[in-house]
Structure 1
């Protein structure tokens, strides 16, 4: 299996001696070998590193370099969330320790190292996808989302860390404000969309633990691609409306019949366009069957999810237009934002 680590990128180095000293002070029975550190190639936001001391392995996760928005990239919160969830959900990495910014200049936490395959836009070399394989992956994704939503959050400290009441109304208002702060051009239909969402806010009766960034490339599978062995990026996790989680998952779940702009707005389309993967409708139907939840108002959640994704892309485009980033990949994101807004309006008009 190809390595998922790379030599550390210039400017993103860690102080190996300082980290090894800290690990030995806080973790018992580490081997006598020296610590080695490599960087993971995946991930576009927080920085993640592989730590190895002899046979012992772990993952270090820290915020990106440079200024960080308030409440974003909260390492301590993510560490606490994993501490509460991992005993109930095997795919969540076990957290080992948290350190504040006094150790290496930024907060970080150390967690379990999981091994497997992460799928994004291609299958790994040596794996020829079959329709049966893609179907199995789809079912696995549905089952783990339903399993996560079935955990009794009241038996964890997430009950004290979160405010599930009124979750969707706060979400709609909050993401509309984010869009307005990052707005660069007038997009047709955006005012109509904002008004529709405010008038049609839906809220499930039973809140649940939601991952809120649930997608294929945040998941890790065994080498046969039959089991999920890891689920990552828990920084947006909270207790809220499980159908919002399903909606976000569907906004990333691309079908072969989707428009080119929807498929390629962020680059090459994900592997979900391959034959055998479920459609969004099939995914949602199976989720309803597994979870017992009523999806009659799912068009609201899908509409909001596409809008939320549009806001995230608009924030990136805003940074490019203001010269805060020179990355040429972002130069045409405004077209993708406009497409997502139109897709939101289309979804809003659907029944049930």
Structure 2
């Protein structure tokens, strides 16, 4: 069960008497951030998600924020699992964790969707969730203090510049150059929006038979910001090679598979949001590549230090950093 113990199950039973008693657990083998377990119980199954062990970067692995935002979204059209309990006090696991309902459905790991007949419908379902998320009023959800929306572009640049510097001893000069260029960009602000922070296909659970998202997961990086951020981050990742550790759509004939083009996906999003278009698009794409490069540099560093949820794939993700730097530079040149 890897870190789970009968003592932990007894602790949860005492702390959360309304939940069914836990009888066992199985750790999910994927994911690089917060280790997660499927729990069997005497009733409905549960999921436990915890901070990783060891020394962590400041403000990283914020499962407390994950719990808060998903609890706030419970009665909105954005589908999230039901939250049960956040445990921050001392416990047998030795670190904070939360418990949520298990959502039974499909997770797609390959963006070409080889197992799906109507691929366009799956992408349109993602688009619908993203547009709905971008249109929510954070203040109405009690999340008006969840972050600072103004100046989001440059604050994100600063956050990931600091994170990258804290993760590596020898910075990539091309990534530093991209960061310097991004610092000179000046995209317009927008009304405050809830930003997921890692909006992509494999962070969603789809209905077992219908092209419908029933759970949007992994809110660790969520904050208040600019709605274009999630859209650009998702589209940016499609430019990664399909045969890489983070499967993109690079080299894939999207039209032949019924998958949307970048322009088509953005246009559908804008139609749903009732907006005319997206300004400063390539700057947002370049920031997304820069941000992911900084994140994966940290993942690779944790893997090398023996402090990653999945060390082997963590090292593979770390090796993607130069490719993301080049991708960001390509978006820069398109501007």
**TM-score per shorter chain, which class?**
0.7 to 0.9
| 1-structure distance, mates of 2:251, 2:24 | 36
Report the TM-score, using the length of structure 2 for normalisation: 0.86
Give the counterpart of 1:204 among 189, 193, 199: 189
SS at match of 1:173: helix
Q: Which residue of 2 aligns with 1:306?
A: 289
* Structure 1 residues 217-259: Cα deviation after superposition (integer angstroms, max 9, x where no partner): 10011122411111110111111111111111122224xxx6x
Give the counterpart of 1:288 among 270, 279, 282: 270
Moved more, 66-75 or 108-117: 66-75
Moved more, 304-313 or 82-91: 82-91
Give the counterpart of 1:341 among 313, 320, 325: 325
Change (3 A) 1:186 1:25: closer
| 2-structure distance, mates of 1:62, 1:322 | 19
Change (3 A) 1:224 1:212: same
SS at match of 1:158: coil
CA RMSD of aligned residues (A): 3.0
5+ unaligned residues in a row in structure 1: which ranges?
A: 1-7
1:218 and 2:218 correspond: no
SS at match of 2:320: helix
Give the counterpart of 2:4 among 11, 14, 23: 14
Structure 1 residue 146: Cα displacement: 0.4
Count, aligned residues: 329
Residues 36 and 51, structure 1, Cα contact 8 Å, conserved in 2: yes
Give the counterpart of 2:95 among 90, 106, 113: 106
* Structure 1 residues 63-97: Cα deviation after superposition (integer angstroms, max 9, x where no partner): 12222222212222221121112221451112111
Q: Which residue of 2 aligns with 1:38?
A: 26
Alignment of 1:115-194 (within 5 A): 115-121=104-110, 128-130=115-117, 133-183=118-168, 187=172, 189-194=174-179
| 2-structure distance, mates of 1:160, 1:321 | 36
Residues 79 and 213, structure 2, Cα contact 8 Å, conserved in 1: yes
* Structure 1 residues 168-224: Cα deviation after superposition (integer angstroms, max 9, x where no partner): 211112222333344555646434422221111314321201101000010011122
Residues 25 and 40, structure 2, Cα contact 8 Å, conserved in 1: yes
Moved more, 70-79 or 230-239: 70-79
Structure 1 residue 299: Cα displacement: 1.0
Residues 121 and 271, structure 1, Cα contact 8 Å, conserved in 2: no
| 1-structure distance, mates of 2:64, 2:317 | 32
Q: Which residue of 1 aligns with 2:298?
A: 315
Residues 246 and 317, structure 2, Cα contact 8 Å, conserved in 1: no
Q: Which residue of 2 aligns with 1:4?
A: none
